[in-house]
């Protein structure tokens, strides 16, 4: 009984503040025709994430090619 009251109280008293609906703002931002690709329209964090992902992909590809070359060479 006590555990049920605690779980019910926790769920019912969870965050009661209202969040403002920012979907229309985001829709305007992402639908704007300004020449920026959609994956970069989010701002600096999108750009940073894109560059980090690209860098890791290039590094990973180069490392795989290097390991394939090492594996293909016969050991003396």
Do the domain assignments include residue 15?
A: no
Number of domains in the chain: 1
Q: What is the CATH number of the domain that holds 48?
A: 4.10.91.10
Token pair belonging to 12: 């019912």
Judge contact between 40 and 46, C-beta under 8 A: yes
Indicate the DSSP class of residue 40. G
Question: Mean pLDDT per segment of 10 residues, for the chain of length 76 residues?
Answer: 60 67 92 92 94 98 97 88
The pTM of the full predicted model, rounded to 2 decimals, is 0.63
């Amino acid at each position: 009984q006590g555990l049920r009251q605690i779980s019910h109280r926790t769920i019912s008293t969870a965050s009661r503040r209202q969040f403002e609906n920012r979907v229309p703002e985001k829709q305007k931002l992402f639908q704007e025709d300004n020449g920026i690709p959609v994956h970069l329209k989010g701002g600096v964090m999108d750009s940073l994430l894109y560059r980090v992902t690209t860098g890791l992909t290039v590094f990973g590809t180069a490392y795989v090619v290097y390991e394939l070359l090492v594996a293909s060479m016969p050991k003396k």
